Amino acid sequence: MGCIEDHPSDAGHRFTGPVGALIQQYLDHMANKLKRKESTVKNTEAYLFRFYSFLNAHGYGMDDINFEVMETFHSEQGYTPGSYHNCAGCIRRFLRFLHASGFCEQDRSVFVAPDNFRIKEGKLPSAYSEEEIRTVLSSVDRASVIGKRDYLILILAAEYGWRNGDIQQFRLDQIDWEKNEIRFLQQKGGNPVVFPLLASVGNAIIDYLKNGRPSSEASEVILSVKPSRKSKPLSAPAVSGIAAKYFGKSGLAALNDRHKGTHAFRHSLASNMLGQEVPLPVISDVLGHRSTETTRVYLKVDVHQLKKCALPMPENQSPFYRRGGIWL
């Protein structure tokens, strides 16, 4: 998220009155139900405090929110494009929550005008071909204890598109060996997902449990081998760092500036499925997205499919162009 210019300190974020109570309920929902990171909740709190202060200063309630009110709010803040984008997103999600939870009869998130901040960035997700992903996987020394653990991390990211937190929190009781399934709640968003226990994943799990995992009572599957943290779960940044290490060992990291962490596996899985013409709703299910709109970002990397949409350029009959663009 972008910076928040000149927002009050945390000590000043006191929400009172009917509007303040609704905002506090939403922040609690983010922290306790959605399991958002503390930094994410704090950023949202700061933006919503600006909005709350504006509503109080002008005597507005939730039923007064319309396009004019939102335009006045944003014009008074003087945000940069990035901060405007982040603030609008926070308010939009808050208003959707109020409507979905029955606090507001009308969904007033429609009055938060969209912006094209991310479109202007023009940044494409990093993606690797299936052959490149195999190159990364083959760079792991699977004969070593650490290699068995690291290979399991990479295969979970490559086959399922799991995020750092999902790999970190992957537990033994989430594996159903009889049904050949893995069931868990995604760390981001809390979405319940079910994955088939693929042979490549199952074999990697068994090899690690038998020959690589330290003796521990921890329920998490993947554990650290460092003396200071031995037999304890890895941190999410450590998981990403391990993935990045093997992009480096494979030689792919030196070729370009594409991302090298576990999210690169996730983007690559979606991109390669698109290349195989897998329907978007199926890809959304695999990635655990609640909406295909979230998945559409991966369409940006599917250049092959986009080329199919290109239309032939009709011949230009203009005398100007027939003369080679020369004015007489």
Amino acid residing at 101? S
3-class SS of residue 37: coil
**Residue 4: how many CA atoms within 13 Å on its side-chain side?**
21
8 Å CB contact between 180 and 196: yes
Cα separation, 304 vs 315, in Å, equals 25
Per the rule left: phi > 0, alpha: psi between -120 and 50, beta: everything else, 288 is left
Residues marked active site are found at 163, 188, 263, 266, 289, 298
* CA–centroid distance for 297 within its chain: 10
What's the rounded Cα separation, in Å, for the pair 212 and 156?
Answer: 16
Q: How far apart are CA 114 and CA 112, in angstroms?
A: 6
Task: Answer yes or no: are the C-beta atoms of 183 and 193 closer than 8 Å.
Answer: yes
Dist. CA 35–CA 239, nearest whole Å: 19
Residues 128, 264 contacting (CB under 8 angstroms)? yes
- What count of other Cβ atoms lies within 10 Å of the Cβ of residue 182? 22
Tokens representing 265 are: 């596996």
